[in-house]
Every structure is written in C-alpha cells, then in structure tokens.
A and B are shown apart, each in its own frame.
Chain A
C-alpha cells in the first residue's frame, strides 16, 4: 500500500527541552493512525511539525510524497486539518465560514451535505461563537472535510462531544477510511482509539514508547484492557490497575 504520511527521525526542541525526539512512523493510504500520550507529551507538536506550522530541527516529513513547507499549495489542496483551538473570525456565521473555507480549494465537497451529515443544517445562519462546544467541534470536523481531502489531521478529535455525537463521528470516519482516506488523529479516549485506529503511537515526553496495533499494546503489557495497557506504557511499569 502507498505511504501517505512519512515521518523520519523528527526532532524538535524548545530551548533546551526536547519536545519531540527522534520520532519515526509512516501511515498508509486508508489507514487511521492514532497519536496518544498525556497532555504535553508532544502530540500536537508532532502534528504541527508534520503540517509545517512548526519548524523542526532535524529529520524529515512528507505528506503524499511532498514536502508540506516547500510544496504547501499543492499539499494542502488534498489535506484537511482540524486544530485543537478554534480559529475563526469573531462575528462569522457557520455558513459563511464554510463558504470561505470551500473557496480556498480548487475542488471541494458540498458543505451543505457535510453540515447535514453532522447534524448542523439548522445552524447555518448562527454565529459560530454561539454554538455549543460539541456543535463547534462537529463544525471543525466539517471544515476539515470540506476540501474532500486524501489525508486528514484531527488534533483531539472528539473532545467535547456527547456519546451519541462521538459514535456518529466514528461512523463517518470509518466510512471515509473505507473510501481510502488516510486519517491521523490524536485522542485521549481509549475506546475511540480502539474503535478507530489501525495503528497507534504512544508518546511520552516527546519520545515514542510504543508503536503498533492496539492488540500488540495489550499483549506487550501485563494487562488485558487497552486503557490499562496505555497507562502502563505512559506512566511506566509502576502503574497498577484499579
């Protein structure tokens, strides 16, 4: 299978602190790859280094075989991104934000369909800032999907969503994956990771401490539940299950 995201020996430091140290992984087309780790473990930094919004010190990164910094215009025709923080104009309405987002791409999906798929059709005239946390999060997923991307990045995919909305998002993403979309996501929810991710990487203080499938993670740990295995990996061998 074709590799869509390739990260080799990525290193990034803030001052003397290593934020990301020698990270290597590759994601194939149609795969969902999860980045896990405690807050501050370096998930967002890895994502931003891949996207080119943060500079890295050494290593290399390629999306769809291209350098996201030097071939930015070409790469981001085919890449959708949802950042952790909201980035929209103060008074802008849902429909306007979608319209402007769609206009940035040569080809794009019909945002009205996406809004209805994520149950936001009746919010099209509402100011974005008046949406609830869950509605905003769903809108940001819609925005990331507007370019009809081949590769998509979600930083904290379903934070703030209620259980029903999370299930709906999982279902949509599984369908997109079925159509060959590559997804890289970071998440704090182990049920989500188990349900969605083909492979995962667990980060701790910027270093990779596990990379493989969820099943492998369980096998390599002394536990039989993934959440326990994850905590065992990220907190060290002293972790004890409740």
Chain B
C-alpha cells in the first residue's frame, strides 16, 4: 500500500521558538492516526505544514505522493480554530468551499443537502452561519472538510466543544470516511476517543516526536506488566505480602481498597495471577491494561527514558 503522508525530518522555527524539531512520519493510505500532544507541542504547526499553509524550514514533505500544494483538492482540513463567514448562508458557504476544492457545480446542491441530512442539520442551508449554535457551526465546519470527499482528511481537535451525542456522530463520520478509503489524521486531547478510534498513534511534545506506534503494538508492549488486586483483608498488609512474595517490583494500595502491583522483570501474566492468589485472600485479580492516557502522562511527564528501557518504540 502506498504512503499518504511521508515526512522526513521537518523542522520549523518561529523567532527563537523551535515549534517542530526534526519530525519524521510515514502514514499508509487508509489508516487512521491519532495525533496527540499537550498544548503548544507543535501539532497544529505540523498539520499546517502538511497542509502547505506554511513551509518547513528544512526537511522533506510529501502528501498523497506529491506536493501538498498540488494535492490541496484531495485534502480535507478542519482547523483548530473554527472559522465561518458569519453573514454567509450555510449552503452558500459549503458550496463556496466545495468549488474552491474543485467540485463541479453539477449536483453540488444535492450533495450539500445530503451531507446536511447526514449530520442531522436538515433545512439549515438557507440559514446564516451566525444563526447556528456553536455545535451546529462545528458540524458545518466539519462538512466543509468533507464535502469534496477528500483522500486525506486532517482534523484538528474535531471533538472540541461537542456534546456526547454529536461526538458520537463525528466518530461515525470518521469511521465512514475510513471505510470509504480515506486516510485520516486527527489531533485530540480526548485519549479515550483516540484509543477507541485510531489504529496508529503519534505523540509529539515540545516539537519532538516522542511516540509513533500502532495501538495494538503499544498494548502488547505495555499490557500485562501490572495487576490489580482487590484483597479481602487489609490492602496495606496485602501489598507488603506481595512484595515479600517476590513477584512484585512495586505495590501500592489505593483509596478504593485496591492494590496496584507492578511486576518484576521476567514474571509473566499467568505466573503473576497465581502468585497474587497465593499472597493472600482476594475478591478479584485482574491484569492492568495500560491506557493511552497513562502513556501520554508518562511520556509528556518526562518518563520517556523509562518507557524506552521497557523496550517500547519511543523515538526521542
């Protein structure tokens, strides 16, 4: 399968600030990639360079097999800061963006009508953008990125400001687009959404890429390295017993009466469960699954080296 995005060591500096520092990325066509990072990490700058809105100071960037400028019509983009012409009518705005993106006028109105129906905004085509609620405006903005059926969809914080129902609707739209064959890259702060949706995660911090991995690969690397026990007796006593038994590298009781145990090197999941039951009476024992949020906090919090020592694919 060919590459949708190929970035080789791009950098961008604004004054004394290095916004993006030597970032590389290869994204297969048809993949769905979560682009994560704290505020000011360099996500939007990287996205703007992919969109060719700004040029990198150095490095090579290929989008859909060529220059991003030449392929603008094949890219859909939802910027972080939402923007609509306040006085323009919704249908007119979508038609304008679609025409700029190379959509032929024939059948355009029907296409806009269909899309508005799809996002549960029937009958708003004649309304002015300023008459819509914030959530409705956000959906119109998303449609402006989708209306020309792009091969590459770049969404910067698509869930920002949406209620749970509209968030679910956006998730369905994103999945539909992936099924259609579009490559999707989206940035978000909602880790659970990224975890549920993505098959690839890219984490960037202070302009540098700190993680680039398939989600399944990430789980395989981190899952099973810990267990959670609900002891029948005193959690502190159980934690001490687990440390004494030798299978736990660290054990700590939580406020909910649970004991979180980090396994020693070389102890497998099944061995750990047997040892946990032997250490004391338990109501439940389960393998701890590392969430994306844990990875995010660990990497952005400065524990990159710890992750590397565990054999992860962290790329500093």
Partners in one complex: no
Give A residues with C-beta under 8 Å from B. Answer: none
